[in-house]
Amino acid sequence: MVSFVRNICNQRWLSLAGFILVILGGCALGPKVLKSHRPLYNQAVQRSANEELLLNLVRVRYREPVRFMQIGSITSNFSYTADLSLTGTVPADGAKAFSSGVRVGYRDTPTLTYTPLEGERFVSQIMKETPVAVFILLVRGGWRIERVMRIAIDRMAELYNSPQIESYARFIKLAKMWDKLQARGNLTFVKVPDAGYVVAERVPTEEVRLWSHLTTDKGGYALEPRKDGHYRLRKLTGFTVVMELRYANAAEADQADAALGLNPKRRAGPNGSVIQWLWLTDPIDIYKFETEAKEVTRVPVWLRSFFNQLFYAARSLALPPGDEKRTRIFRNAQGEPIDQRSFLLDLLDIRFSKTRPEDAFVSVRYRDTWFYIEDQNWQSKDTFNLLLVIFELQSNVEPTSPVLTIPVGG
C-alpha cells in the first residue's frame, strides 16, 4: 500500500512539474508570439490597403462613388490555457496503471477599429489639390519625376496632361526629358532668397513713425523708402525652393524650352552646360512673389486632387466585353473616340479575368470579374505604390473618432 501511494505521488509530482514548466514556458511565449504575429498583421494591413485602392480605381472607372475605410487601431489579446490530468487504475490482480497529461494552448482575439473617410477629412485627403510642396517632396525623395508629373500634374504652363488635348505630346516629351536629367543627377531643388511681395506701393511719409518700423520688423514686413519721399510696404517671405535644371548644352535646353512653351532665364554652367531655375507655383496664389535671384522663372502648375489622380489612373483599366457602355467614352477635339488606356500602359496596366489570377501583385473581385496587376509588371507596381504614398501624404487632418469597431476573435 505504501508503494502504491508513493507511485501515485511520484506520478503527480512529475505531472505537476511538467505543468509548472508549461506555465513558465507560456510566459516565454510572449516574444515568440510577437515575432510570429507582427509580420502577419503587417502583411494583412498592406494587402488590405492595396486591395482597397484597386477597388476604388475600379469603382472610378465604372463611374461609381469611392469609399475609403482607414484602420484606426489593431488590438490583439492573447490568452493561455493549461490543463493537468492524472488517472490511475488498480485491477483485481494488483497491477497498477497510471497516466497523466498536460494540455496547453493560446488564443489570439484581435479587435480592429475602422474610421470611414468622410466629411472634412474626405475633402482634405481626397478632393483637395496636391500641394506643390508634396510634389517637390516626392521628387526629392527619389520618385521619378516623369511618373510624378503624369500622375499628379493636370497642367503646367500651357501644357495639358490629357491625351484629349493637343499639347499632351509636348507634356510627355518634357516629362521624359526631365526624367533623363534626374537620372544623370542634373535635376535638383535649391533655395533662393525671396524679395517678398508688395503689400502697399505708396505709404505716405506722415503715416510712417518709429513704432511702424518696429511693428513691421516684428511681423515680417519692411518699409522701403521711395524716391518720391514715400515708402513701400513689403512682406518678407524668407526663401523659395526652385527646381534647378542643368542641361548638357544649349541645344538640349532649347528642346526642353520648346516643349514647355516658355523661355526660362538661363545661366552659363561649366563645359558649355546651361542652368535654369524654375519656380513651380500654384496659380491660385494671388500674390505676385518676387525673388532676389533674377535668373528664376515662374512656372504655374495645376496639380490634381487625389480623386482626380484616381480618375486619371483608372483609365488604364481594361474592361470586360460589353462593359464599355457602363463607362464614359473619351473623345478628342474632333469628337472621335480615343482609347486612353493605350496612353497609360507604360505607366499602369490593370487587367481583368473571369477567374482569380494566380500570379498577381494585387487583385479584387468586382461585378463577377477579377481585376488585377501582374506581379512582374514593376512599372505598374511603382505607379500603384506612388498613389498609396500620395494618399498618405494628403492625410494632414486629425482623424475623427472611430465609429466602427469589430472584434475578430471567433
Which among 253, 259, 252, 255 is positioned nearest to 170, based on CA atoms?
A: 259
**Residue 101 pLDDT more than 80?**
no
The whole-number pLDDT of residue 410 equals 39
Q: Which three cell numbers stand for residue 278?
A: 524654375
Give tens-digit pLDDT for 17-71. Answer: 554 544 445 555 556 555 556 677 777 778 888 999 999 999 999 989 888 877 7
How far apart CA 53 and CA 383 sit, in angstroms, is 12
The whole-number pLDDT of residue 4 equals 43
Sign of torsion over alpha carbons 69, 70, 75, 76:
positive
pTM assigned to the model: 0.72
Strands 274-281 and 296-303: parallel
Segment among 162-171, 224-233, 274-283, 314-323 with least mean pLDDT = 224-233
Which among 295, 250, 301, 254 is positioned nearest to 277, based on CA atoms?
A: 295
The whole-number pLDDT of residue 70 equals 73
Specify which of 93-102, 115-124, 361-370 reaches the highest per-range mean pLDDT. Answer: 361-370
The whole-number pLDDT of residue 401 equals 41
The whole-number pLDDT of residue 352 equals 95
| CB contact at 8 A, 15 and 84 | yes
Reduced to 3 states, what is the DSSP secondary structure of residue 194?
Answer: strand
Give tens-digit pLDDT for 76-90. Answer: 665 556 555 556 565
Q: HSE-up of 242 (CA within 13 Å, CB side)?
A: 26
**Residue 232 pLDDT more than 70?**
yes
Element (H, E) at 112: strand 97-116
The whole-number pLDDT of residue 399 equals 43
Give tens-digit pLDDT for 324-360. Answer: 777 777 777 677 777 888 899 999 999 999 999 999 9
| Residue 139: burial class (beta carbons within 10 Å; 0-12, 13-18, 19+) | buried
Phi (first) and psi of residue 112, to 5 degrees: -105, 135
Strand 369-374: give its sheet, edge to edge.
351-353, 369-374, 360-366
Q: Which three cell numbers stand for residue 385?
A: 505604390
How far apart CA 197 and CA 291 sit, in angstroms, is 9
Cell 472584434: give the residue: 407
